[in-house]
Structure 1
């Protein structure tokens, strides 16, 4: 675990490295963030254990030091946020990684934890995984492009109206990149 201010970061790169308690906290965080409108892969809340746990189990099962890692942000031993960093195995695109599921538990928002996770994932990608650039997709209309933009990410594409949340509620999907690392 790496100490950074009040937040401790823990990297998980193998399924055997995550405890049952941490898995449970990760799932609970994911449910809470999704149910409070977070853009974390479940667009139609409410969601519960039956929807989120199988997705989390697959994510954890796919962990591998060269291909997929979790970054956990802990405050006083409790999970405050997490994200996933992955790379494709195809050598054509193995020089870049994708950041997914960036989330901070609502009880810990406003403390800079999300920004700290994004700074740390940049270091992990560059120094530990040998990546040259990172990309992510963000849901438009909720201020995510501004958050990432303040951290050095650049919008490089936008698919207008790609995401439909309901009648009259279409949102853009935004592709962002961070390069060089």
Structure 2
């Protein structure tokens, strides 16, 4: 629920159960707010919440034909057109409704042979677009494949699992790993590695969707503390801060990305339950 300056309600957004395993995205705002972007922002928050807490459900939006503002909002929050559906009670002359679906989140404990090439393709595209995923643009595919083999070994040993983001047609759109340090003193923590979204799909809120799904997956895996690292200059700090990560360390100039181009190695963390990080103050 949004509230105007005077406290009057101006809209509502959420999900409601539709058919089995489906959540219907809805949002209604007062006419005075139309064009302000509130519908898009509220829908993004709802989608992220549903992805984190209800990963077994498909989030969908059902839109009347030619209602273009709703179409633009659905696309802005990452939903993909999948077809049409005629609902009981709809007047025949109105035509079938357009159906949009959010890409699916899934935990991955073993990478299928048929998925490995798609993952390498995604990793290569993100790398060549300048993404902070372990390599500089132009890195040979063989080196990326070696890094993938290392992650697979961690998965086999039970020290890591992945989370995938796939379009309704099965195309891989995003990926990330959670790794766990074998030391039992650090068993509460998970470290985020190789977080990536297809560059062709940037700007559609899919990064936030994948991250929300990953946080939910870490919670279900028993994690209490989440950590990640990134190189400065990538703009990732603001992105992670929006979902509760805070900077807890920075090594100036630790990463060299080119001649004379040194970046800070930044560490961020958040508690899975969202409670504040509190230093114990001991030396």
User: Is 1:151 aligned with 2:243?
Assistant: yes
Aligned to 1:178: 270
Aligned to 1:45: 137
Q: 1:65 to 1:179 in 2, by over 3 A?
A: farther
Please say which structure displays the higher CA radius of gyration.
2
User: In the aligned structure 2, how far is the partner of 1:65 from the partner of 1:113?
Assistant: 30
Q: 1:91 to 1:40 in 2, by over 3 A?
A: same
Aligned to 1:102: 195
User: In the aligned structure 1, how far is the partner of 2:272 from the partner of 2:106?
Assistant: 24
Asked whether the equivalents of residues 107 and 217 of structure 2 are also in contact (C-alpha less than 8 Å), the reply is no
Aligned to 1:142: 234
Q: 2:138 is paired with a residue of what secondary structure?
A: coil
Aligned to 1:23: 116
* 4+ runs deviating over 6 angstroms: none
- State TM-score, norm by structure 2: 0.59
- Structure 2 gap segments, 5+ residues each: 1-54, 60-101, 274-283
Aligned residues: 176
Q: Which has the higher contact order (CA 8 A, sep 6+)?
A: 1
Displacement of 1:4: 4.5
* Mean CA deviation greater in 160-169 or 87-96: 160-169
User: In the aligned structure 1, how far is the partner of 2:138 from the partner of 2:57?
Assistant: 34
User: In the aligned structure 1, how far is the partner of 2:157 from the partner of 2:145?
Assistant: 22
Aligned to 1:80: 173
Displacement of 1:162: 0.8
- State TM-score, norm by structure 1: 0.90
- Structure 1 gap segments, 5+ residues each: none
- Superposition RMSD on alpha carbons, in Å? 1.7
Indicate which of 103, 115, 138 corresponds to 1:7.
Answer: 103
Q: 1:158 is paired with a residue of what secondary structure?
A: strand
Q: 1:56 to 1:135 in 2, by over 3 A?
A: same
Q: 1:151 is paired with a residue of what secondary structure?
A: coil
